[in-house]
A and B are shown apart, each in its own frame.
Chain A
Amino acid sequence: MNRLKFGWGILPVAIFLAIWEGVSRLNLIPGHFFFPPLSTVMQEFYYLIANGVLTDNFLRSLVRVLIGFSAGSVAGIGMGIMMGYKKTVNKALYPIISLLYPIPALGWLPILMLWVGIGEILPIMIIFICSFFPVIYNTITGIESVDKKLIKAAKTLGASDRHILYTVILPLALPNIFTGLRLEAGMAWRVIIAAEMVAIPTGIGALLMRAESLIRVDIIIVCLMVLSAMCFLFERFFLCLELKLTQKWR
């Protein structure tokens, strides 16, 4: 049954790739230079890995995403917990967070370029901002959605406020927190590529821009495929982790 389902999932992809290869090889689209066949793209993919260009740029982007996303998420969860749990902290910080949240991560790029200069800190800070605000919101929502009766029950069973936070509130807020992490994990890759295209000379985004200036559509497609794969893998990773931690009781 699962195999059958997998087959139905893979079939449209296989048909799409076959059409792509066929249309390009048969020159059905004028200006085939701008539309290389799949086989040429895969060949270029292999060359870029073999000569280390893709690996080098990919690793730079990966490290930036991992550092920026981890820091943003940890800070976002921490801040979200404080704001969701302590009403006074929420009242104090909510107006500031509400004002800053709507600014798109890339909107910070010009001011950050002036503040921290063009270096490794810049993309990491952009990813930090991209992850931080949405994770705060999801964490607050998760904490506030915990049934108040459960907290009362824990109190009558003798649990201290801290014990209740760790044993009741946070475990039950996990699904919401993971929703935030999952969405932002993919978004972090989209943002880093955009930031590298605009302001950073290294990384997958920068490689994309160089390929565009050389009119190397095959390299552009390779970069887009890597981006797509990383967004998918990051989102999947958090989905699997969420299921592992919460599926038993949800």
Chain B
Amino acid sequence: MTAIELKNISNSICQGINLKISEGELLVLTGPTGAGKTTLLNIIAGLVDYSGSIFFDSKPINAIPPQKRGVGYLFQDLALFPHLNVYANIAYGLNTERKSLKKVEEKVDSLLKLMNIEHLRDRYPKNLSGGEKQKVALSRTLAISPRILLLDEPFSNIDLRTRKYLRIELRSLQKRLSITTIFVTHNLIEAEEMGDRIAVLCKGKLEQVASSKELFFNPQNEQVIDFIGRPNILKCDSCRMLRGEVAEVKCGEISIIIPYEGGKINKILISPRDVYVSTMKPSTSVMNGYWGTIIKLIPLASIMRFQVKIKDNILLAELPKDLFREFGLKLGKKVFIILKFRGIRVC
């Protein structure tokens, strides 16, 4: 297990980044496109020039070349060697360590088994599916027993179902191996599910590092709010458990069904992106659906943000401007809104 410390890291993209990551922690690095997430990973791996200092377990590693940093790096496009089969891809890093053939074979076989891809051993990357490539790339990264794992949007090209499965697999593997990990994503659900903490990077600056709850309930500045969305925070007056992992809370005069994991609920939070807006009520019965009235318009660059009054609560919602016009929405218009169940966070 290795702790990471970045002190005043800068280059043409990143600006004065200070960050501490504890041993065995999984830190999610998120932010809009072009924020410098991949660059920061490249800096930690030693693949690009930078100023400032990096410490692994309090030892400076600036002078250490990428080959010797002991960093396992899973690239966004996976970077599997197309001319090597699955076995040779996984064994690549082990062969550079000049290990005996038997040891290499044992290690590769154990990883093939761990990832459940033994049947792919002799295949070439061109004959693998997205999920299979993912597992091979992860096995190759883990084969060198890295001190630190850097994962750059590893699930970006994978279908939703496989992505969810791989997320769970990766998280349990990371916990089991206790590898300090930095996981880059711009998917906030992924960030919340995976990370011990979330770091938000905007325009090369680290804007906030916090637990997911703290980040969503207390975004530190406008940059963070712009990225995660200005949240609707509703105070809960009472809570009633319904079944399993579902509860009903009263927020003023409206009651909302929420995901419930136990404990006392003081507030709930929902992003404007997770507030669905319609001009009519769906014919089927809906959960968390309410009639409200548009009371304020906040035009932004490409979206229209607006306040909807529902009884004694006011919620922020947003729509792309063209859709807003298409729906014929305007001040005073009655709209039906639905709160996305999985978008509700509790505190």
Contact = CB atoms under 8 A, between A and B. Distances in A.
A249 B128 CA distance: 12
Nearest to B72: A156
A47 B47 CA distance: 68
B82 A249 contact: yes
Contacts of B97: 158
Contacts of B67: 155-156, 158-160
Contacts of A149: 75, 77, 79
A150 B93 contact: no
B143 to A, nearest CB: 8
Nearest to A160: B67
Contact of B92 (A152, A157, A160, A248): A157
A60 interface: no
Interface in B24-81: 42, 45, 47, 65-69, 71-73, 75, 77, 79, 81
B47 A156 contact: yes
Contacts of A152: 42, 45, 47, 66, 73, 75, 79
B92 A167 contact: yes
A42 to B, nearest CB: 46
A172 interface: yes
Contact of A153 (B65, B75, B125): B75
A154 B94 CA distance: 11
B291 interface: no
A153 B79 contact: yes
A163 B92 CA distance: 10
A159 B89 CA distance: 13
Contacts of B68: 158
B93 A157 contact: yes
B135 interface: no
Interface string B88-107: 00001100110000000000
A149 B48 CA distance: 12
Contacts of B92: 154, 157, 159, 167
Contacts of A248: 124
Interface in A235-250: 246, 248-250
Contacts of B83: 171-172, 246, 249
Interface string A95-127: 000000000000000000000000000000000
A168 B81 contact: yes
A161 to B, nearest CB: 9
Residue with the greatest number of chain A CB neighbours at <10 A, chosen from B73, B77, B92, B140: B92
A212 interface: no
Which of A149, A156, A158, A172 neighbours the largest number of chain B CB atoms within 10 Å of its CB? A156
A157 B47 contact: no
A147 B42 CA distance: 16
A147 to B, nearest CB: 7
Place the interface of chain A in its size category: 20 to 34
Q: Is the interface of A mostly helix, strand, loop or mixed?
A: helix
Contact of A155 (B47, B77, B82): B47
B34 to A, nearest CB: 18
A179 B161 CA distance: 42
B137 to A, nearest CB: 9
Contacts of B124: 248-249
B144 interface: yes
Nearest to B140: A157
Given A155-B67, A157-B140, A150 B96 contact: no
Given A156-B72, A160-B67, A249 B96 contact: no
Contact of A157 (B42, B77, B96, B125): B96
B171 interface: no
Nearest to B67: A158
Contacts of B66: 152, 155-156
A185 to B, nearest CB: 23
Nearest to B71: A156
A249 B66 CA distance: 28
B126 interface: yes
A137 B300 CA distance: 53
A94 B150 CA distance: 38
Nearest to B48: A152
Contacts of A167: 92
Please indicate which of the listed interface residues B45, B68, B93, B125 has the most CB atoms of chain A within 10 Å of its own CB: B93
Contacts of A157: 92-93, 96, 140, 144
Contacts of A246: 83
B79 A147 contact: yes
A152 B79 CA distance: 9
Nearest to A152: B47
A157 B137 CA distance: 11
Interface in A207-250: 246, 248-250
A154 B97 CA distance: 12
Contacts of A150: 79, 81
Which 6 pairs of residues, A with B, have the shortest CB-CB distance? A157-B93, A153-B79, A156-B73, A158-B96, A149-B79, A155-B66
Given A153-B75, A249-B125, A249-B126, 4 more contacts: A150-B81, A152-B47, A155-B47, A160-B96
15 contacts: A152-B45, A152-B66, A155-B67, A156-B45, A156-B67, A157-B92, A157-B93, A157-B144, A158-B144, A163-B96, A167-B92, A168-B81, A248-B124, A249-B125, A249-B126
